[in-house]
Amino acid sequence: MTEAAVPSTATRVEPGPTRLVALDVLRGIAILGTLGTNIWIFTHASGMVGYLDELAATPDNAGMWFERVLQQLAQGKFLGLLTVLFGIGLAIQQGSARRAGLSWPGTYPYRAGLLLLDGVLNFALVAEFDVLMGYAMTGLVVAYILATTERAQRRWLIVAASVHVTMLTSIAAASAFASHRNSADSTPLDPNPYAVGSFWDLVLFRLDNALIFRLETIFVFPMSVALFLVGARLFRAGVFGPEGACLRRRLMVIGFAVAAPLDLTLGIAGGGDIIFVTRYGTAPFVALGIVAAIAEFALRKPHFGVAGTRLSEVGRTALSCYILQNLLAGILCYGWGFGLAARVSDSARVPFTVAIYLLVAAAIITFAHLWLRRFERGPVEWLWNRTYRALAG
């Protein structure tokens, strides 16, 4: 994925080997974690439309309750983690540019443009819940914000966070007073492009409903700006270094002792009625706890072991793995592929979804490992880098 001058008043943190490994591990966790959220969309017979319709349904059996718990464990945490990591990446790029005597944001708009193109293609051809388009636009805005003073950046952070909280509160209040709608009352897709449509049918369906599918990207823009800036500030404050011990402890307490129990309780008890509160309210704080925990682990034990190595490989090929995991899940579940989602009964959906997740996760972990044994970058990263160099000179 993309990575991102530190003002003279800020603590300069030089990237080191341990820190880079920690960032790769975090990226790997974020990629596999987003799969844990999105896999429920793939395994629903009606895709994202059916998944959204069922969010407000009240579980009436043990299987549905177990499904809700599994969904809530991943819901929003890894979206928030990925967003924070993009902000850290911007801080890294900005620091590198300054050390090289280059202006900032310099040629970064080319990077943002290429990421936007990746997002458009991923949205149309692979997954309607693509996040790359939003990150491209957010990154472009934040790149220019990072060129301002620390004081100005702090103001932008406060404003973006305030706008997001206001929007979140308004939606939560509206949901509380809205009449509850049962998923059984929704109109089924007819024909269902996810179950019986061709690859091209699904592409046309995404394009025809592009505004609806892109509403989340618009809604989370203030949150994304805030989390990008938070990521940059955490990096400059030394969250990955020995000097950030106190900061990491605070983040882990907030993320794991406060936000995580609240997020799980609200998500399970409230379900779809307050998913906006958990996905975009409590989950980002859990993500900050994850950043702090991995950073702390990296300092205490620089060698992550086999599991950490595999995660770091996924992180080094994050863009390729993100696209590949969505493509593989689509092949397995959608009608233009094996069409497995439409053949599974409701009672078997949870074990089926877990099995598909494990299969796809194993596939991308294996891909990343085998690819990096021979090449330095993932295939999409290589193409992206070559194109960027050609454009930026």
- Residue 207: CB atoms within 10 A of its CB come to 12
- Number of domains observed in the structure of the chain: 1
Can you give the pTM of this predicted structure?
0.91
Q: Is residue 106 part of a domain?
A: yes
| 3 within some domain | no
Contact 136, 220 (CB under 8 A): no
181-216 pLDDT per residue, tens: 555 556 778 899 999 999 999 999 999 999 999 999
Residue with tokens 């877990």: 354
- Assess if residue 138 is contained within a domain: yes
Q: Residue 151 falls within a domain, yes or no? A: yes
**Tokens read off for 139:** 């990154």
Gyration radius of the chain's alpha carbons: 21
Whether 2 is covered by a domain: the verdict is no
pLDDT at 179: 57
Enumerate residues 6+ apart whose C-beta is below 8 A from 386.
Answer: none
pLDDT on residue 5: 34
Helix axes 62-74, 349-372, angle to 10 degrees: 30
Evaluate whether 4 touches 143 at the Cβ level (below 8 Å): yes
- Domain encompassing residue 207: 17-392
Q: Are 360 and 329 in contact (CB under 8 A)?
A: yes
What the block records as the tokens of 185 is 């009352």
**Contact (Cβ atoms closer than 8 angstroms) between residue 108 and residue 93:** yes
Q: Which residue numbers in the chain have pLDDT < 50?
A: 1-19
> Residue 14: its pLDDT value, please?
40
d(C-alpha 84, C-alpha 290), whole Å: 11
Q: Which residue has the tokens 């801080």?
A: 91
For 257, residues 6+ apart whose C-beta sits below 8 A from its C-beta are none
Instruction: Please report the pLDDT score of residue 12 as a whole number.
Output: 38
Torsion of CA 42, 45, 46, 49, to 10 degrees: -50
What was the pLDDT predicted at 65? 85
Q: Which two tokens stand for residue 322?
A: 């993100």
Q: Which residue bears the tokens 């793939």?
A: 42
Residue 303 lies in a domain: yes
Contact between residue 10 and residue 236 where contact means Cβ atoms under 8 Å apart: yes
> What pLDDT is recorded for position 372?
96
Q: How far apart are CA 311 and CA 58, in angstroms?
A: 36
Instruction: DSSP for 284-330, please give it.
Output: HHHHHHHHHHHHHHHHH-S--HHHHHHHHHHHHTHHHHHHHHHHHHH
In a domain, 288, yes or no: yes
Question: pLDDT of 23-33, one tens digit each?
Answer: 999 999 999 99
pLDDT score for 10: 36
> Do residues 275 and 286 touch, judged by C-beta distance below 8 A?
no
9 falls within a domain: no
Q: How far is CA 370 from the centre of its chain?
A: 24
How far is 241 from 342, CA to CA, in rounded Å?
49
